[in-house]
A and B are shown apart, each in its own frame.
Chain A
Amino acid sequence: MAFTQSRQENGVVVVRSDGQLIVGNRHELKELVQGALAAGDRRFVLDFSHTGYIDSSGLGALVTVARQVRELGGEMRLAGLNDDLRSLFELTKLDTLFAIADSPAQALAGF
């Protein structure tokens, strides 16, 4: 399983991505977030501290789920991107679309 979720005491769902987020497993992430949305969760932190690389399909999956979260009045934050991963968001200007925190702890602060 490449993605695991845990629920914080304040109700924020932290989704941890282990390995890669790419074309072969992007649906897994979408289904996980969509399942949590259906269960009533609205606040999400996606933790990429243990992620090797992300491809354009993975970036597309993030855009899709972030839109779905927003449409239901929720919020999704990204965290734990190293310099290489962050560069993908900067190159595609997706850093303007997402709230990006240095660490999961920082993303959770004040959420």
Chain B
Amino acid sequence: MTSPLRLCVRRRPAGGGEGPDIIVSLSVPSDVGCIEEAVALVARHCFAGASVAERMRFRLQVALSEALANAILRGNREDATKRAAVRVELAADVIRVHVTDEGSGFDPRAVPEPLGPDGIQGAGGRGLFLIRKLVDAVEFNDRGNSICMTLRRR
């Protein structure tokens, strides 16, 4: 079966100026069944040939899985005509992961922390909280339909 994911990898030529060394772009259909394969593909490209701590791979996998789930379920509302776009910028000391959906966006400041008694026993509401805890920096665009997660290699 052909994969419904569309992948593009661009490498900066040696001595080719500033910017990330590698840019990985991935287009993901609005189907949560595709998330595991998308995360595996990105992780493979981020860590190919690199001796990184397993901890960093874990953080990236969980954070990207969360961001894609938010994009597909809340942003695109599982609309089969819409896709989520992943763009990963790889440099020597840092990985930046952008996930953008085709929804109208949301206000990340309005999302409550899930650590109160009701939050702990609730079935949902932990996604953004987990992302913030696992990566080094989180930013959103003004519209609120694109998240940028920064992980520093330690």
Contacts and interface: CB of A to CB of B under 8 A. Distances in A.
Interface residues of A, number: 26
Interface of B: 32-36, 54-55, 58, 61-62, 65-66, 69, 73, 114-115, 120-127, 129-130, 133-134
Interface of A: 19-20, 22-25, 52-57, 59-61, 63-64, 67, 84, 88, 91-94, 96-97
B36 A56 contact: no
Contacts of A56: 66, 69, 124-127, 129-130
A43 to B, nearest CB: 21
A97 B118 CA distance: 12
B73 A92 contact: no
B115 A92 contact: yes
Contact of A23 (B73, B114, B129): B73
Contacts of A24: 32-36
A38 B121 CA distance: 23
A92 B127 CA distance: 10
Given A22-B36, A55-B65, A67 B121 contact: yes
5 contacts: A24-B35, A56-B66, A60-B126, A91-B130, A92-B115
Contact of A97 (B58, B62, B120, B129): B120
Contacts of B58: 53, 84
Given A92-B114, A92-B130, A55 B66 contact: yes
Contact of A63 (B54, B66, B122): B122
Nearest to A66: B121
A88 B134 CA distance: 9
Interface centre among B35, B55, B65 (most CB of A within 10 A): B65
B13 to A, nearest CB: 34
A53 B65 contact: yes
A63 B69 contact: no
Given A53-B62, A60-B124, A92 B35 contact: no
Contacts of A57: 69, 124, 127
Contacts of A54: 62
A23 B65 CA distance: 8
Contact of A93 (B35, B69, B115, B125): B115
A18 to B, nearest CB: 12
Nearest to A62: B123
